[in-house]
Chain A
Amino acid sequence: MGASVLTAAALALAAAAQAFADNVPVAPNGILELEGHTALVVQTGSFDFMADVTGRLEDAELSFQYRALTLGGYYRPLKNLKIGAFYRLEAGVRHDDDWVSNPTPLPWSWQDATGRFENVFMLDASPRFLLDFLPGKSWVFMLKGRYIYNTFENQQSIMVRPELTYFWLVDRQPLFDFQAAYEAYFPLNFGSTFIYESYPWLGVHYHLTPEVMFELAESYKSTVWSSSQQWLAEGNSPYQVVYSRWLASFGVIWTLNP
């Protein structure tokens, strides 16, 4: 009698574990996603006004999901400091709560966010320093800190990015610059982890002219998916899934000095 109860309990636990494993998000690790963007920068004295359009092909299927329009600019109160304020209209952003079961109870899947537009407001400060004591002399270290407020679910986060750039100068002007950076996002009021997304990042800019610049970058992104509200509301055990993928991006930046 006792043995059969234990066996039944074990089978129930195993079934529950299997159901849990079947229903948590599965991260297609190791895939390559592609991003393209173009930006217009208008420089007037201490102000840089910017407009940027970005699109990204995501997931294993490389479906066009993320798209964003960013408007804003930087003010340079000091030679070694820029502060920025930006507004971004974006769509296709996958949030933790997009893991839903509809209709309940099965199947669980990511709901389509490509048609959902979100308003994002950002404020940042980025001190930067010329490291002319390094070989080549034209090194710049920058530390960018950015506060991000997304009106969708009132999510708030902090982005921190230390960045080292080497400028390859020809005739005293940059021809290429090479960047190495690490970017980390700290959620303030959502998720269940200290960092929900982070990635090392390598990039290069080719300065075709002072007005036109091409950008190539490669990063290895890791995002932590935490339990969605619906998942928890239905009494499921919390989960954390790490989604890692490569991201290759290409950009063209136009600069005007009216």
Chain B
Amino acid sequence: MDAARWLSLGVLISCSLAVPSAVMALDGQIIYTEGTVTVTNGGTSQDAGPGTKVSAGETVTTGSDGLAVIDLSNATHIKLMENTSLVVDAIGDATQVSLATGGVFTHILKKLAGSFSLLAGETVAGVRGTEFFVAFGKTIDNERDVWLCVNEGLVDVSVPSTSQKVLVPAGQGINIVGGMKLTTPHRYRWTRGLNWNMDPAGGSLEDHTSLDQAYGDLLNHDYN
């Protein structure tokens, strides 16, 4: 799947909350890093660290040892897991980011003036939650799954091409099979290990959750 395709059909996770825009700084910056983190703009990459500005059109990428936390407009924090690539499409009244690979935790710190959108995969999802996790799962038969888990709030996930919609409440997760087909939200056991922390003062930010756990373990079945 090429980048243009997922961008055009991506999972959209959006938050629309009200706050005076005058109090917001309409830019972004990296506020925490571990390992390899780069920012790419127009084909030019540079190593990034705390304080590195992130503007619309730039891509933040973490390596296999990398982790980064981005602040957008002092209103949203996004934690990138390892091997993640996130495009900042727009910052402002309609802030939008696109997940190309890997997974991210998103935390809405306070009410936004406009909307916040996160695209990933081939499904559109509207999020009314304040804290959620999105990541790509396995690619099976050339279809890439998208997993979403809500820690706080409520997520409205939809697939415009099929008119499917489902609400995902806090504590539950959902697999968007092939990025197209919604499944029933469940309390998945694998989500219990997600590390929602984005504050280094509050402990480690690393998350070691393997999405392999999200899939049925066929070798575990044994009942007699």
Whether A76 touches B218, Cβ cut-off 8 Å, given contacts A171-B175, A171-B177, A210-B186, is no
Chain B residues with CB under 8 A of A165: 218, 221
Per-residue contact bits, chain A 64-86, to B (CB 8 Å; 1 contact, 0 not): 00000000001010011010100
Neighbour of B216 across the interface among A43, A76, A172, A205, CB < 8 A: A172
Q: How far is the CB of B146 from chain A (nearest CB, A)?
A: 12
Contact A253 B223 (CB under 8 A): yes
What CA separation (Å) do A129 and B215 show in the bound complex?
A: 17
Q: Would you call A113 an interface residue if the criterion is a C-beta within 8 Å of the partner chain's C-beta atoms?
A: no
State the majority secondary structure of interface residues on B. mixed
**Contact indicator A130/B219 (Cβ below 8 Å):** yes
Which of B175, B177, B218 counts the most chain A CB atoms within 10 A?
B218
Cα distance A81–B138 when bound, in Å?
Answer: 24
Number of interface residues of B (CB under 8 A): 18
Residues of A122-140 at the interface with B, using a CB-CB cut-off of 8 Å, are: 126, 128-130, 138, 140
Residues of A near B219 (CB, < 8 A) are 79-80, 128-130, 140
Given the known interface contacts A171-B175, A172-B175, the answer about A48 and B222 at a Cβ–Cβ threshold of 8 Å is: yes
Q: What is the total number of residues of chain A having a CB less than 8 Å from a CB of chain B?
A: 33
Assuming the A-B contacts A130-B218, A257-B189, are A171 and B181 also in contact, with contact meaning beta carbons closer than 8 angstroms in the complex? yes
Taking A48-B220, A172-B215, A172-B216 as known contacts, 9 extra A-B pairs with beta carbons closer than 8 A to each other, sorted by chain A number, are A43-B220, A48-B222, A52-B224, A126-B222, A128-B219, A142-B222, A165-B221, A174-B218, A174-B221
Q: List 14 A-B contacts (CB under 8 A).
A: A39-B224, A52-B224, A76-B220, A79-B219, A128-B219, A142-B222, A167-B218, A169-B216, A171-B175, A171-B183, A172-B216, A173-B216, A174-B221, A177-B221
Closest 4 CB pairs of A and B: A171-B183, A257-B189, A173-B216, A171-B177
